[in-house]
């Protein structure tokens, strides 16, 4: 299944303002400024606890690692989210034992994203001894709490260790996470309905879940919505809507959407003797 650093000018402006008047802040205000800076450079876009003011970054920029460690460490005494983000900063700098320690503290405080991150370290043996049982237990805890990536990693680990997660159970877990507005869960659930995995095939339900994930900017869901709209699968056929979905997915870097958009925009197509598209005008 397919999946998806930003400039930090906003963080810099917050930093300048915060440090210029730090002496005017109470300890609580200072901690809040530290947390805001931590979030600006190290928030995980898939973390259910990510605040709305921070867009999040899938990969922390190398130039931001020292800043992230400094402010996330300072905010971590009072915030499990900052502890998790501190772990991400250490991991970005390949400081695996430190990352594992931060993730463990955050997981113990209830961060489901930290549970998944620590589980991945146990699965790979980075910073800790490789231990699939520990990884599975952590993924299970995160999944039970509604973390979509916990469900996904639990299923993936099971498929590689011979202890596959029951597809019906996976669908049920993803439904809980999708109801909590997780775009990852909504997209994965759409795939399960589209392919009839873990229960009956249902194109209408698949389209509904893809649409919800697409509304949150999930590139793969946008691509699938383009396909469903172009073919009329699970709902009305609408070529203009399909082009719009594909264009949005393509802008997010989805190569399949780029190809499909080009195909839909062809007025004259050229195909080989097998019917395969070889060019258009």
pLDDT in tens, 151-166: 888 888 876 665 667 8
Mean pLDDT, residues 99-128 taken together: 97
Do 58 and 68 contact (CB within 8 A), yes or no? Answer: no
Mean pLDDT, residues 62-84 taken together: 97
Q: What are the pLDDT digits (tens) for 4-47?
A: 433 333 333 333 333 333 333 444 445 589 999 999 999 999 89
Residues 171, 177, 180, 186, CA torsion sign: negative
Do 217 and 183 contact (CB within 8 A), yes or no? Answer: yes
Q: What are the pLDDT digits (tens) for 136-150?
A: 999 999 998 989 889
- Each domain of the chain, given as residue ranges in start order, spans 5-107
Q: How confident is the model at residue 208, as a pLDDT?
A: 97
Q: What are the pLDDT digits (tens) for 213-265?
A: 999 999 999 999 999 999 999 999 999 999 999 999 999 999 999 999 998 88
């Amino acid at each position: 299944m397919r999946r998806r650093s930003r400039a930090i000018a906003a963080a810099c402006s917050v930093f300048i303002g915060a440090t210029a008047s730090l002496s005017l802040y109470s300890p609580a205000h200072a901690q809040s400024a530290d947390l805001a800076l931590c979030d600006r450079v190290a928030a995980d876009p898939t973390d259910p606890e990510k605040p709305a003011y921070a867009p999040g970054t899938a990969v922390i920029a190398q130039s931001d690692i020292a800043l992230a460690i400094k402010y996330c460490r300072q905010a971590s005494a009072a915030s499990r989210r900052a502890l998790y983000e501190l772990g991400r900063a250490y991991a970005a700098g390949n400081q695996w034992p430190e990352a594992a320690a931060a993730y463990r503290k955050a997981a113990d405080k209830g961060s489901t994203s930290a549970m998944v991150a620590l589980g991945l370290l146990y699965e790979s043996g980075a910073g800790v001894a490789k231990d699939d049982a520990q990884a599975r237990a952590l993924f299970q805890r995160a999944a039970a709490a509604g973390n979509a990536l916990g469900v996904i990693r639990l299923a993936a680990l099971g498929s590689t260790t011979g202890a596959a997660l029951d597809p019906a159970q996976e669908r049920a877990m993803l439904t809980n996470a999708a109801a909590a507005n997780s775009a990852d869960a909504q997209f994965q659930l759409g795939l399960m309905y589209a392919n009839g995995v873990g229960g009956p095939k249902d194109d209408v339900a698949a389209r509904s879940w893809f649409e919800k994930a697409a509304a949150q900017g999930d590139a793969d869901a946008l691509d699938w919505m383009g396909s469903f709209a172009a073919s009329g699968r699970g709902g009305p056929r609408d070529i203009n809507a399909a082009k719009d979905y594909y264009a949005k997915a393509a802008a997010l870097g989805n190569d399949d959407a780029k190809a499909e958009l080009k195909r839909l925009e062809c007025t004259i197509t050229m195909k080989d003797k097998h019917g395969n598209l070889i060019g258009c005008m």
